[in-house]
């Protein structure tokens, strides 16, 4: 089983990203669960979302305390809190930033970066980075495919072909621009 924790701010789409990732895993024949944890429900407040993906039935119903993978939708959270708390040794971090892992001060983990904010601003004209970060997640971890993420997007935005198309564009662009 792989456990993943998303860190974001209210309004960036961390909860939706977790849900889309769980649906993408399901499309690959895996078991999955996704759930959020947040305090004050307001735009900009820190938010965490959790995902479990497994080939076998998932019986755990608690929070994710020792994730294999961390996804950070807002790099300012690295300075505000310890986003690596509980991350397993040799864990993976996927982070939305223009900086390198060294510039962020993150060591001892496999770090992948992508400027998901610029991608989102160019495509959506808003800093909603959830689908872009999923493209980087797919490139970094190979845990789910782009096809499965795209199927999840089609289900989520089934009423709007335009939303489907631009979200798929964000996923593809972040996948291609993800760096180690």
Instruction: Taking residues 66-75, report their average pLDDT.
Output: 95
pLDDT digits (tens, 9 = 90+) for 74-102: 988 887 788 899 999 999 999 999 998 78
Total domains, the chain: 1
Confidence of residue 158 (pLDDT cuts 50, 70, 90): confident
72 close to 91: Cβ distance less than 8 angstroms: no
Q: For position 5, what pLDDT does the model report?
A: 96
Give the CATH number for residue 143: 3.40.920.10
pLDDT of residue 76: 84
> In this structure, what is the dihedral angle of CA atoms 111, 84, 60, 46, given to the nearest 10 degrees?
-110
Cβ atoms 7, 74 nearer than 8 A: yes
What pLDDT shows up at residue 148? 97
Task: Domain of residue 68: give its range.
Answer: 2-177
Q: Considering the entire predicted model, what is its pTM?
A: 0.92
| pLDDT-based confidence at residue 169 (cuts at 50, 70, 90) | very high
pLDDT tens, residue by residue, 103-149: 888 888 999 999 999 999 999 999 889 999 999 999 999 999 999 99
Which helix (DSSP H) or strand (DSSP E) does residue 111 occupy? strand 110-114
Residue 159 confidence (pLDDT) above 60: yes
């Amino acid at each position: 089983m792989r456990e993943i924790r998303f860190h974001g701010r209210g309004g960036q789409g961390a909860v939706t990203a977790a849900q889309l990732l769980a649906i993408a895993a399901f499309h690959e024949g895996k078991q999955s669960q996704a759930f959020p944890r947040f305090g004050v429900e307001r735009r900009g407040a820190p938010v965490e979302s959790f995902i479990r993906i497994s080939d076998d039935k998932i019986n755990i119903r608690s929070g994710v305390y020792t994730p294999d993978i961390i996804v950070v939708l807002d790099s300012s959270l690295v300075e505000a809190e310890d986003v690596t708390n509980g991350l397993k040794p040799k864990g993976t971090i996927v982070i939305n930033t223009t900086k390198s892992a060294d510039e962020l001060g993150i060591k001892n983990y496999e770090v992948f970066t992508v400027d998901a904010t610029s991608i989102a601003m160019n495509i959506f004209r808003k800093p909603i980075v959830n689908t872009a970060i999923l493209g980087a997640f797919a490139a970094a971890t190979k845990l789910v495919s782009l096809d499965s993420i795209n199927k999840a997007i089609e289900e989520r935005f089934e009423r709007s072909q335009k939303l489907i198309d631009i979200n798929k564009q964000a996923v593809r662009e972040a996948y291609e621009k993800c760096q180690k």
